[in-house]
Amino acid sequence: MDFDLTAEQKMIQKMIRKFADEEVAPGAIDRDRTKEFPVKIFTQLSKMGMMGLPFPAQYGGGEADTISFAIVTEELSRACASTGITYSAHISLGGAPLHLFGTEAQKKKYLTPICEGDSLGAFGLTEPNAGSDAGGTQTTAVEDGDEFVINGSKVYITNASYAKHLAITAITNVKNGEKEISAIIVPTDAEGLTVIDQYEKMGLHASNTTELVFDNVRVPKENLLGQRGNGFQQFLVTLDGGRIGIGAMAVGIAQAAFERALSYSKERKQFGKTLSEFQITQFKLADMAMKIELARNMVYKAAWLKDQGRPFTKEASMCKLYASEIAMEIANEAIQIHGGYGYMKPYEVERYMRDAKLLEIGEGTSEVQRMVIARLIGC
């Protein structure tokens, strides 16, 4: 067993931490208030070669491993979780299905702009009536000559306003009452597709969350991604990788909350002592540190299994579930340690809690993770 990062992983960690501290963290409070999307940060990340980090060099990728992807997602989320989710979705939901299931021509055409940062990656699964039960998809793609004609809608889709194309799921046939769900690549400027960016969210304010409306959107049949009828299965595989990203985001937010709580507890005095001199505060901080350590190890282990080409569905679910729940708990405790100040925006800990909440919902709720884990442990 080797718990050390490799030289390359350490180099990536050092570089992204410096970038996150110097370029991402300073504007995070403002972006949370103004909801301004961090365009400049993503231009810089493109120049740093981060946008295609785990993908092959032939498409402009960096050929790094999944642990490196987790490190970058953690460090960005520690500074600004809106930046973290944008990056995580770009790689693990936008780029990954193209990499896993695309033809050579599709990878050249659609993965390359993602790796080069010319397009953000996005993924359209969720619908108004198909969330946890994603197989309940109602969007249809009907064949008409050489084209599919798509009608329906998708909700809560991350990054779509900044994506040039995205993969979606749609029903391509119904046989004996069974839906055939396929994945199809759709250019976001296709006629009849409207991308609406109007949600008023609880947190992650600087991330882009959109509704997609398809009104007779025509795409060539060659835009089918992977095997016809395998769309739902392909998206489940994609979500396994995405859950490592959510776990890494959670570790980043929890780490930020812990660091704020630790430093505040050493400054704030009550009853003639710093808060950190009270044993109850020390115990809270000790618990936080322990839970972060465990969550980070779980994320790295799931990423490592993925990199070994071994099954990682259970570990990805476990790391996502555990890390997102401790991120909420730690953000909440960090506010408590700050007292009234923690309730105020400049201290940032309240933002961590609002941002962390999404991690218990997106890419499968905590209940869905427990269902996945229960199935895989033989319940």
Ligand X SMILES: Cc1cc2nc3c(=O)[nH]c(=O)nc-3n(C[C@H](O)[C@H](O)[C@H](O)COP(=O)(O)OP(=O)(O)OC[C@H]3O[C@@H](n4cnc5c(N)ncnc54)[C@H](O)[C@@H]3O)c2cc1C
Which residues are marked as active site? 363
What is the footprint of ligand X within residues 123-162 (CB under 6 A)?
A: 123-126, 131-132, 156-158
Least separation in angstroms between CB 137 and ligand X: 10
Least separation in angstroms between CB 327 and ligand X: 15
Q: Which residues contact 76 (CB under 8 A, 6 or more apart)?
A: 16, 20, 24, 83, 84, 87, 252
Count of beta carbons in the 10 Å neighbourhood of residue 287: 15
| Distance, CA of 324 to chain centre | 12
Q: Site mask, ligand X, residues 234-263, x = CB under 6 A? A: ------------------------------
Radius of gyration for the alpha carbons in the chain, expressed in angstroms and rounded = 21
Q: Is 317 in the site for ligand X (CB under 6 A)?
A: no
Least separation in angstroms between CB 190 and ligand X: 18
Percent of the chain that is helix, strand, coil (3-state, to 5): 60, 15, 25
Count of beta carbons in the 10 Å neighbourhood of residue 310: 9
Q: If binding means CB under 6 A, how many residues of this protein chain bind ligand X?
A: 21
Q: How far apart are CA 302 and CA 317, in angstroms?
A: 9
Q: How far apart are CA 176 and CA 313, in angstroms?
A: 31
The burial of 161, by beta-carbon neighbours within 10 Å (0-12 exposed, 13-18 middle, 19 or more buried), is given as: middle
- By beta-carbon proximity to ligand X, the closer residue of 248 and 358 is 358
* Three-state SS at 48: coil
Q: Site mask, ligand X, residues 72-111, x = CB under 6 A? A: -----------------x---x------------------
Q: Site mask, ligand X, residues 194-233, x = CB under 6 A? A: ----------x----x------------------------
Stretch that binds ligand X, among 72-80, 135-143, 308-316, 358-366 (CB under 6 A): 358-366
- By beta-carbon proximity to ligand X, the closer residue of 49 and 131 is 131
Residue type, 250: A
Host H or E run for residue 173: strand 165-175
Q: Is 362 in the site for ligand X (CB under 6 A)?
A: yes
Which residues are near ligand X by CB under 6 A? 89, 93, 123-126, 131-132, 156-158, 204, 209, 358, 361-365, 367-368
